[in-house]
Amino acid sequence: MKYDMPETLRRQFDGRVKLSCLYCANSVGSTEHVLPAAFGCFRNAPMLPDRLCSNCNNNRLGVLDEQLARCGVEGFFRKYYGIVGRKEHDSVNPFMRGSAGGKRIEARTFDRVAGREVSVEIGRGQATQLCAISFIEKESRKVLHDIPLNPKMTPEELRAAYDRCQITTPCDVALASHPHEREWI
């Protein structure tokens, strides 16, 4: 679908007008979803045809769409309701890591058995303890940092995550995992 220029303008410019991207000077040629596709397909959803170049649509706005869909409240509810993205996109658990520069969702609750706060992830309508290493301040027993663990994590990635925590006080360390996760841990 092309941009429908008013007839008076079309006659005045006699086809000499070349539309350019809203974000850069490149030629248009892409259709943008007003409602990000990550939230589903909506019947009669408005589209913006020929307002953006492919690069801006796929790269600039793609990063924004990814952050919106995978972080914060939207990421929480997509995980809560079990909404998955497109097959060609990486699956992201927003409780394990952020996306497109956004931070991961941190949710905690007090575990009476462990006697401390634990990180949880929420998916398909229920909360479960997050597979993570927790660094607990010795004196206050406050959890300073959690490093979520996943089977694809390398030792180098774990070390980098630890270094980012910049722990300077004496800490105890606790590992939280489900029985089925212990083998790869």
Residue 13: per-residue pLDDT: 59
Residue indicated by tokens 């394990």: 96
Residue 35: per-residue pLDDT: 80
Q: Round the average pLDDT of the chain to a whole number and report it.
A: 83
Q: How confident is the model at residue 29 (pLDDT cuts 50, 70, 90)?
A: confident
pLDDT value at 1 more than 50: no
Residue pair 129/119 in contact (Cβ under 8 Å)? The answer is yes
Structure-model confidence comparison of residues 32 and 124, the more confident one: 32
State mean pLDDT over 46-54. 86
Residue 37: per-residue pLDDT: 76
Structure tokens at 73: 């409240």
Q: What percent of the chain has pLDDT over 70?
A: 90
d(CA 120, CA 105): 10
Decide: pTM greater than 0.85. no
Cα-only R_g, the chain: 23
Angle between the 72-80 and 61-70 helix axes, to the nearest 10 degrees? 60
* Residue pLDDT, tens place only, 107-142: 888 889 888 888 898 887 788 888 999 999 988 888
State mean pLDDT over 7-22. 66
Structure tokens at 165: 């925590």
Looking at residue 35, the DSSP 8-state letter turns out to be: S
Residue 60: per-residue pLDDT: 86
Residue indicated by tokens 């589209």: 47
Residue pair 145/168 in contact (Cβ under 8 Å)? The answer is no
Residue 17: per-residue pLDDT: 57
In the chain, domain spans: 7-75, 107-181
Structure-model confidence comparison of residues 9 and 162, the more confident one: 162
Strand 107-111 relative to strand 116-123: parallel, antiparallel, unpaired? antiparallel
pLDDT value at 154 more than 60: yes
